[in-house]
Structure 1
Amino acid sequence: MAIIGKLVKAGIDIKAKLQSEEDSPENSQEHQLRELLTQAKNTAFGKYYGFGEILKAEDLITAYRKEVPIFNYDKMHKLWWCRQERLEDITWPGKPDFFAKSSGTTGNNSKLIPITNDFLASMKSVGASMINSLHEFDFPESLFESEVLMLSSSASLEKNQQGFREGEISGINVNNFPDWFDIFFRPGKVIASISDWDERVDAIAEQAPSWNIGAIAGIPSWVLLMLRRIIDRHHLSSIHEIWPNFQVYASGGVAFETYREDFEAICSIPITILDTYLASEGFIAYTCTPGTMAMKLALNHGYFFEFIPFDDRGISDSGELLSEPLVLGINEVNVGEEYVLLLSSCAGAWRYTIGDVIRFESLDPPQIKITGRTKFFLNVVGSQLSEEKMDTAILELAEIMGKTINEYMVAAMKNEAGEYIHQWILVSELDSMGLAEKLDKLLKEVNKNYAVARSKALKNISVKVISKGQYTNYLSQTNKKGGQTKTPKVMKAEKMAELLAFINQP
């Protein structure tokens, strides 16, 4: 295998050197939009919104924005995507072979996102670009001699009544791996197709000593549980006892920082953390620069991006888009500012609001960080708490208390007197005594709007601590265990009441 590692590393380095200088972000994005419109101009969507005429416009992007409205999932699905199971050429040529079930953080029901062959090719293309970027890192050849473990959702897809296959996007991707991927892909398609998450992880733990894992990919919470199960199963003090070449972890799905300390505790050597922005709607960005977890936007892979300022120019006080928000292009954004992301893609999504809020960390190249979800914006009584502000306070609380807090949930609820409070649930081993006062103080320090709200309509906060076991049991009961599942950090009052009822049951 040593010669293979040398060849792979050399090949990546040579390809990176031979790649021509990329076009400017603005020109790249205009080219992507033109390609998308050209391919879809004869679809029902393309004819309805006059893609053919838009392509003749002197200012392509302005014409596109003028003719095509902004779509959220409900609007896109109701008007267009629901017809794609029966009819061809609706929002993209042909019919999709797969529908991706979203992880369901923003609503009660799973969303079904069409997955076309062109879309699958685009995700592979972004993945290849991410691999090629590894030449920027000083990884040893042993990494390229080892195997990659992907903790995906089940690769066993369901067939709906029309014969289309459905599953989470990571499971669809694994299902479409060519057979030769099994040379280095772990756990392999057989284990990856086990539907029950616990059974799948038990199978991984059983086989773990026979693998040479150099890189792992998956959502932090589930990867951490998997690694702990392997460690317990084989009575290890560190995961590096069986995987000495484990050097890279590709995170994604949720913010990593609340898990960093727990990952460090089970590793005996430092590992490199790469962030990925891989959603049901696309492989949107990836870390390509050492020393940062900022992610480079995939500007040349079948996506056209637009950006709505995450302030009063684009959203209401409740985090909803304005009826006529300001929309900016890649050449109009600023470093350090937050934006709601709009996506047009080769899956037949057009000016589609994914629901994520991003912040630009650099413009050359355009690199971003995800700072939260539009629905993870808690502002019922003017507190204006973004996910990033809440993460900051939680991390500071964990540091003060000397314990990790991996997950948290919060909701604005009314107490018995009819006054608004914030109900927090922390997943940790902390003693809850005095936590509310400490967390309240930290939130006031990180957000002045929260401090103002606490002096007015937001009367108090309540903090309840639950164990990781209780949290996992809750996910099992709600069928949200494993895979790409992400629990909403900001809950509706009704959902929080259900969670509290589950926690308090005998």
Structure 2
Amino acid sequence: MDLLGKLFSRALKLSTLPTKKKRDAFSQQRKVLKKLLKKSANTQFGLRFNFYEILVQFSSGNKKVFYDFYKRRVPVYTYNTLYNEWWYRLKEGEADVTWPGKVQYFALSSGTSDASTKYIPITEQFLKANKKIGIRQLLSLAHYKLPKDLLGKGILMLGGSTHLHKTETYYEGDLSGIQASKIPFWFQYFYKPGSRIARNRDWESKLNDIVESAPDWDIGFIVGVPAWLQILLERIIARYQLKTIHDIWPNLTVFVHGGVAFDPYRKGFEKLLAKPIIYIETYLASEGFIAYQAGPGRKGMKLILDNGIFFEFVPFNEQNINASGDIVVNPKTLMIHEVEEGVDYVLLVSTCAGTWRYMIGDVIRFVDKAQAEIIITGRTKHFISLCGEHLSVDNMNQAIKLVAEELNIIIKEFTVSGIAHDTLFAHQWYIGTDHVIDPVVVSDLLDEKLKLLNDDYRVERTSALKEIFVTILPSQSFYDWMRYRGKEGGQNKFPRVLNKKLHEDWKAFLNQ
């Protein structure tokens, strides 16, 4: 093991030593919000909503009254409302708007719900917070039984281009590109594909460069979105006529993934391996490093409660989220100590990037409240309830996984849209697989699994939800559409639910 590997090993050992007991979840979040408000009290946003008055409440005998004031003073924001009222000034170079100073970086994010590009402000404090959690997650590897010789092996991070576009007042690009400029010097030794390849903005060219460089690397860890990493590994195996990826990277042991649920990809992914590997889920969004899987056998990912993000939780129901997936005015919001296990919540975040009570669009569920562990169950706009079936992305992922297992096929991608059918409704599914399969067989089995997973769906299948249509497509169709829309690679994901406009675009693309 080289010197850096030994230092890494030493750091892992130190991370397992007993530490001072942390505050409870409520106290951690109370402290975070107080620091955020104090830091931003003299910004235009802080003065507008009187952060000083909210800060006074932290000295009250009632330790929870500060949150009542915060909720009453500061409205809930979506991207459009926050950008149109405040963030557009940041792009013009104005200082002290929603966070002290000027914003030098913007992460470009278009998500999966619409085609418009979002500009998410990235501050130095935000980058430091992300780096801190990245190191914390790295040190959490001490909880896994890793081979000693794994330490010091290469870490392949398959993300967007690290090239940043410079404007008159700021830099813009993928979050991975912004963070790459802040990578610690010692990490450069482990980091693959290296700065030259990582800067490449042409996804196809980048994949080809990685494939050609693959024999020169000793990779122990891979990091990225499952679909794109699977494509990369398949190309490497084909290029060098291998049986599995372990023939070229025998030390590959850990896969850190995020962005989408991994279960639908697992069967196809594991066919590329010669031996089991460790899977670690992470939740890193443009709005912050939200959670990560803190150890083996955990039920979910641990929310990061002490590092620059204040969380609020909106019960995901008709009273708070309308049929279009938009949040209502003055929704019911809860703090961390008020949540319950097994209930779906929409996340609001206030962060050290000048983000305040911002709905990021994700829906989560607590699986272990004591450990603040969550799973992602979907997005507010990625569910279908045409007639009360309340079908979530989590239901869809589980059903697809069960169908693939029962039919012994690999389903790489899928999407669904709610459509009108005669005078009632239907679901139109598109399933990406390279196996030859009867769509009627898939439709019947998919319908059966969804009825078992979702009682509301089962009831509506006897009334207003009349048909389930399935179209079988080559997997490549999904990736071609992503390329067509300029969303190939990086952190881009195919939308699991197509709204009316996206569905029309998708059909038009297929008809070409």
Deviations 1:52-83 (Å, cap 9, x if unpaired)?
A: 11100122222111111111111100100111
Opposite residue 134 of structure 2, the aligned amino acid is G
* 1:117-266 map, 5 Å: 117-160=124-167, 162-266=168-272
**Matching residue of 2:339:** 333
Quick one: distance in 2 between partners of 1:345 and 1:44? 16
Match of 1:97 in 2: 104
In structure 2, distance between residues paired with 1:293 and 1:192: 33
User: Residue 359 of structure 1 contacts residue 371 of structure 1 at CA under 8 Å; is this kept in 2?
Assistant: yes
Quote the Cα distance in structure 1 between the aligned partners of 2:243 and 2:181.
34
Range 336-345 or range 321-330, more displaced: 321-330
Partner of 1:350 in structure 2?
A: 356
User: What residue is the counterpart of 1:439 in the other structure?
Assistant: 446
Matched, 1:78 2:84: yes
> Which position in structure 1 is the counterpart of 2:308?
302
Match status 1:422 vs 2:427:
yes
- Partner of 1:323 in structure 2? 329
Deviations 1:189-237 (A, max 9, x none): 1100001011001111111111111111100000111111111111111
Provide TM-score, normalisation by structure 1. 0.96
1:400 equivalent in alignment to 2:406: yes
Aligned to 1:461: 468
1:386, distance to aligned residue in structure 2 (A):
0.7
Inter-partner Cα distance in structure 1 for 2:230 and 2:299: 19
Change beyond 3 A, Cα 1:396–1:133: same
Aligned-residue offset at 1:312: 4.3
Identity of aligned residues (%): 40
How many Å apart are 1:323 and its aligned residue?
2.6
User: How far apart are 1:279 and its partner, in Å?
Assistant: 0.4
* Counterpart Cα distance in 2 of 1:105 and 1:299: 27
Q: Deviations over 1:24-54 (max 9, x none)?
A: 1111100000000010001100000000111
Q: Which runs of 5+ in 1 are unaligned?
A: none
Maintained 8 Å contact 2:343/2:366: yes
The match for 1:46 is 46
Pick from 272, 277, 280: which aligns with 1:274?
280
How does the TM-score come out when normalised to structure 2?
Answer: 0.95
1:108 aligns with 2:123: no
Q: Which moved more, 1:10-19 or 1:342-351?
A: 10-19
- Distance of 1:167 and 1:16 partners within structure 2: 37
Aligned-partner Cα distance in 2 for 1:433–1:358: 32
Between 1:147-156 and 1:489-498, the stretch displaced more is: 489-498
1:385 corresponds to? 391
**Change beyond 3 A, Cα 1:175–1:6:** closer
Cα–Cα, structure 1 residues 495 and 51, in superposed 2: closer, same or farther, change >3 Å? same
SS in 2 for 1:375: coil
Contact 1:258 1:395 survives alignment (8 Å): yes
What's 2:490 paired with?
483
Give 1:419 shift. Answer: 4.1
SS class of match (2:355):
coil
C-alpha displacement of 1:2: 4.3
What CA distance in whole angstroms lies between the structure 1 residues aligned with 2:315 and 2:3? 50
Q: CA deviation at 1:457?
A: 2.5
Q: Offset of 1:251 from its aligned partner? A: 0.3
For residues 496 and 50 of structure 1, what CA distance do their matches in structure 2 show?
44
Displacement of 1:271 in angstroms is: 0.6
Aligned residues: 503
Counterpart CA distance in 2 for 1:120 and 1:7 is 24
C-alpha RMSD of the superposition:
1.6
Consecutive unaligned residues of structure 2, counting only runs of 5 or more, are none
Comparing 454-463 and 382-391, the one that deviates more: 454-463
**Partner deviation per Cα, 1:264-320 (whole Å, 9 max, x = no partner):** 111111110000000010110001121136111111110101111123453345543
Partner of 1:32: 32
Q: Distance in 2 between matches of 1:313 and 1:421?
A: 25
Distance across 2 between alignment mates of 1:356 and 1:65 = 20
Q: Distance in 1 between matches of 2:184 and 2:303?
A: 26
Q: Flag the 1:9–1:178 CA change in 2: closer, same or farther, 3 A.
A: closer
Q: Is the 8 A contact 2:439 2:471 kept in 1?
A: no
Task: Please name the residue that 2:8 is paired with.
Answer: 8
Question: Equivalent residue for 1:496?
Answer: 503
User: For residue 303 of structure 2, what is the amino acid of its counterpart?
Assistant: L
Q: AA paired with 2:337?
A: N
Are 1:70 and 1:351, in contact at CA under 8 Å, matched by a contact in 2?
A: yes
Contact 2:76–2:330 (CA<8 Å) still a contact in 1? no
Q: Is structure 2 residue 458 aligned with structure 1 residue 451? A: yes
Kindly indicate whether the alpha-carbon contact (under 8 Å) linking 1:239 and 1:267 is maintained by their aligned counterparts in 2.
yes
* Mean CA deviation greater in 481-490 or 170-179: 170-179
